[in-house]
Amino acid sequence: MKKIKLLLPALLLLVLCACSKEKNKGNKGEVKTNTIATKIVDGVKIISNKSQPQFPDMKLKLNKLSSFKNEGTNAESMASISSAGIDFDSQNNLYVLDNQKSKIHKFSPKGEHLLSFGGQGEGPGEFKITGSTIIINDTVIVPFWFQKKFVLFNTNGEYLKDIKFADDNKILSYPIKYDDYLLNVSINSFTADGETMTQTQSILLFKQDLSYLKTIYEKVKEKKVGTIDLNEDDAPAAAMDKDNNIYIAEKNPNYYKITVTNLEGKPLQVIRRNYRQIAYTKENLEKIKESYQEWGITKVIGAAKNSIRNIFIDKKYNYLWVETAENSDPKLKIYDLFENGILIAKVNIPIKEKSVVVFRAGKIVIGNVTEGTIEVFDYSLVK
């Protein structure tokens, strides 16, 4: 009888453990932990992250490599520099596109201004209305989409030639360079009657020889001319990892979602994270409306911020960096870090107000609009 009494608690414990495991497993192969829940839907892995990262104490360490004045530019030109306007050559010289003067400035790894080349116009070696430059095999390439061509220079700033766009509907206007491919995110709009506008948001995949490969993402919608919807008129952000997986981040105020596809555009994974909608302040909305009025936009719709501002894949760790709308400090850039779809950390990059942050060639580049300076950093992540 004593043996039976001892066995009963043991059997009960086994039953409870079995029930607990079955409950955690869930439907459709769902697995839950304290920080994530995963399931497979139609062959696509859905990863839902809670707000708490796996390594909350992970820190970003920055090691400044160089700091210099962006010679030949000023605060106005620095304001238009973006991640698409900065790149490195094979000798770690830095090239910065000056959108205002249609010039490219070359700096040494120590921050010395070496030369400036290009110029505003439509003749040989000239360009205008462009916002990007890339360097492929030490050839400096400027997409001049106003004339539907690429303008090519060598690293000494000497004009080489122009290459016409192969397809006027597949324009490589703001290319993002990766090891083997180029991604281009764009918004194209046209109107037939002056009242209704057709807007196409797309992500295009190109080879590094500038030839078009495939449309990975496309969204077409109708809208009224003169109206901007803050939550629908912004194209998604895109990035590519070292395995050539493509990350597509929707800019939406209601949810946080990043879809991972292969080179054919087939979804492989969806990354989600708990998110609470964040409203614009009244002051923010007034400034936004004022800026659009300068472009003839009379009506601005939308009261909440999009959950995701931008995404990057860093070359050193192959992590996904997601800049979110949760940051209200103008002297910080705050990023969610993901590894294999799992939120592992939240890290801060200290900046001065009105700065842009660029991930290039395993480095972090920070350009400050107010002071007209550029800083280049090596970096490491410490758990």
Question: What does the angle CA 346 – CA 245 – CA 249 come to, to the nearest 5 degrees?
Answer: 50
pLDDT recorded at residue 234: 81
- Along the 383 residues of the chain, how does pLDDT read in single tens digits? 444 343 334 433 333 343 433 334 444 566 666 679 999 999 999 999 998 999 999 999 999 999 877 554 444 444 456 668 899 999 999 998 888 788 898 999 998 889 999 988 988 999 988 889 999 999 999 999 888 899 999 999 999 999 998 887 788 888 999 989 999 998 887 776 778 888 899 999 999 999 999 999 999 988 888 888 887 768 899 999 999 999 999 999 999 999 999 999 999 999 999 999 999 888 888 888 888 887 788 888 888 999 999 999 999 999 999 999 888 888 999 999 999 999 999 999 999 988 889 999 999 999 887 777 889 999 999 98
Partnered with residue 271 across adjacent β-strands are: 47, 258
Enclosing H/E stretch for 247: strand 246-249
pLDDT recorded at residue 8: 35
Structure tokens at 212: 């078009």
Say how far residue 172 (Cα) sits from the centre of its chain.
16
pLDDT recorded at residue 100: 77
Beta-carbon count within 10 A of 269 CB: 17
In a domain, 41, yes or no: no
In a domain, 89, yes or no: yes
Distance CA 283, CA 274 (A): 27
In a domain, 223, yes or no: yes
pTM of the model: 0.87
pLDDT recorded at residue 327: 81
pLDDT recorded at residue 129: 80
Structure tokens at 178: 């990766």
Among residues 97, 187, 196, 189, the alpha carbon closest in space to that of 143 is found at 97
Question: What does the angle CA 131 – CA 90 – CA 147 come to, to the nearest 5 degrees?
Answer: 30
Among residues 329, 318, 291, the alpha carbon closest in space to that of 381 is found at 318
In a domain, 23, yes or no: no
Helix, strand, coil abundance in the chain, percent, nearest 5: 10, 50, 40
Distance CA 335, CA 351 (A): 13
In a domain, 200, yes or no: yes
Range of the domain at 191: 46-382
Tell me the DSSP string of 282-315.
Answer: HHHHHHHHHHHHTTT--EEE--B--SEEEEEE-T
Residues 310-324 have pLDDT tens digits of 999 999 999 999 999
N-to-C CA span, the chain: 55
In a domain, 370, yes or no: yes
Partnered with residue 46 across adjacent β-strands are: 39, 270
51-89 b/e (C-beta count within 10 Å ≥ 16 → b) = eebbeeeeebeeeebbebebebbeeebbbebbbbbbbbb
pLDDT recorded at residue 311: 96
pLDDT recorded at residue 209: 92
pLDDT recorded at residue 232: 75
| CATH code for the domain in which residue 85 is found | 2.120.10.30
State how many domains the chain has.
1
Distance CA 286, CA 255 (A): 24
pLDDT recorded at residue 30: 66
Which 8-state DSSP code applies to residue 221? E
How do strand 44-49 and strand 267-273 relate by DSSP bridges? Answer: parallel
Residues 226-267 have pLDDT tens digits of 888 887 768 899 999 999 999 999 999 999 999 999 999 999
Say how far residue 311 (Cα) sits from the centre of its chain.
3
In a domain, 38, yes or no: no
pLDDT recorded at residue 46: 97
In a domain, 18, yes or no: no
| Long-range contacts (CB closer than 8 Å, 24 or more residues apart) made by 108-113 | 109/65, 109/66, 109/376, 110/66, 111/66, 111/67, 111/68, 111/374, 111/376, 112/68, 113/68, 113/69, 113/71, 113/72
Which 8-state DSSP code applies to residue 91? T
